[in-house]
A and B are shown apart, each in its own frame.
Chain A
Amino acid sequence: MKLSWKPYILSLLVILIIFPFVYLVLLSFASDWQFPNLLPSYFGSRNWQMVVGSENGLLGSLTLSIIISLSVATISTLSGFILSRTVSYHSKKHTLTLLTYFPYILAPVVFGACLSYFFLKIGLFGTATGVVLAQFMIAFPYALIFFSSFWGNRTKSFENLVSTLGGSQWQSFSKVLFPMAGGMLLICFFQTFLISWFEYGLTSIIGVGKVQTLTIKVFLFIKESNFFFGALSCCLLIFPPVLLLYINKKYVFNKLI
C-alpha cells in the first residue's frame, strides 16, 4: 500500500496555524517563566482576574476599544453607504473615486502627524472623540469604495420604480435599498470594525497616550517586556473579531454564496 503524506502535511499545517493562538492563551495564564525552566512557575487565572479587577486598566481599554470601533464601524458604514450613492451618480464620479484613495497614499502615522495640528486646534487631541474621527478618516473611504459596486443602472432602476410607485426617497432607502444591501452592510461593518480595532499609528498620535485602546495596550506591555499581560491583551484583542467572524460566517456569507 502506498503511504500518503497528505494527512501528515495537513496536520502539520493545522498545528502551525493554531499553535500561536494556543500559545497566546497558555501564556496569558502564566507568570514568572524564567529561562531555563521548562514550565512557568505559576499557571492559573491570576492574570485574568486582574482584568476584571481592572488593576491594569485592561477592562477599561477593552470597553473603550469596543466603543471606539463600534462607533467608527457604524458611522463609516452608514455614511459610506449613503455618500457612495452620491459619488456613484455624480458626473465627476471618477475624480471623486480617485480622491477616496488619498488617505491610503500616506502611512497612518504620517497621516496622523499631518493632521495633529488641526486636531490640536479643534481641541480633539488626546480625546476618544478625536480618535474616532481620525479612524473614521481611514475607514470611511474604505466604505465608499466598498459600496461603489452596489450603485449602478440596476439599483437606479429600483429607485426609479419605487418613486413611480409613490415612494419617497426615505422609503426607497428603508424598504428597498437597505434590505437589498443587507449582506454588504454587514460585511462593511465587520471590515471597518477591524480597521478601527487593529489601528495603532493614528490612535497613538491623535490619542497621545491618553486614549489607551487595547491595541495600544498590547504594544505598551510588549515595550515593557510583560509578555504575560501582552498575551492576555492579545487574547482580548482577538476575541471580538473572532466573534464577528463567526456571526458573519453563520448569517452573512452563507446567504451571499
Chain B
Amino acid sequence: MIEIKDLHKSYKTGASSLHVLKGINFSVKEGELVSIMGSSGSGKSTLLNILGMLDEADEGTYTLDNFPIKNLNEKVAAKYRNKFLGFIFQSFNLINYKSALDNVALPLYYQGVGRKERMDKSFAYLEKVGLADWAHHLPNELSGGQKQRVAIARALASDPKVLLADEPTGALDTKTSYEVMDLIQGINDEGKTILVVTHEDDIAHMTKRIVNLKDGVIIDDSRVNQVRAIENV
C-alpha cells in the first residue's frame, strides 16, 4: 500500500539547515495497523506529513497504492488527499461552526457527492462511532473523546485507502484514549490500513507493528502482539 525508499527531508532555519529525515526505507501492506514512535524531534511528524501529502520530501520516492507521489501541484495533491487519505489530528481540527454531521460530510462535499447521499453517509459513519445522537451538536458541545470520534468518522467518510493519525490520543485522558484506540482497532479489523504517530508506549502496543524513529532514521521496526484496548478500559 505504502512504499517509501530513501526518503530525505531537511528544513532551512536561517543559514543552517536541519536534516530531519535521513534516508527512510519503509513499506506498509494493506490492512496493517502501524505505529510510528519516537521522541520529539525524531522526525515522526515530518514523516507523517509527507505520507499525508501535506509536505514534500527532498529526495526519495513515495508510492501510495501504486501511484507515485512526486511533484504534485496543489490541485492534484488536494484530489489525492481527498481520495486516498483520511486524517486524524491530535487537536481534532473540526470546523467549530459546523455541526458534527456537517463536519463529517465535508470530505464528501469536496468529492462532489450530492447533499442527500452525503448526509446519509455521514450519519451512518457517526452511528458507527457511536455519536448518532450528537449529529447536530457543534464541536464545542462535545467532549474531547467525542470530538475525536467525529474526526475519525470524518476521516472515514471519504472511504480512504489509508488513515493517518497524528497523536490521536495526545489530548485525551487514558480512559478516553483507550476508547478511541478501541475504535481505531475496530476499523483496522475491518481491513483499513492505519498509521498512528504516538510517543506513548501503551498506545503503540495497541497496534500490530511499531516503527521506532530516532534522529531521522528507523532504528527498529518490529511486529508486536497487539493489546486489545477494550481490555484496559
- Verify that A and B bind, or say they do not: no
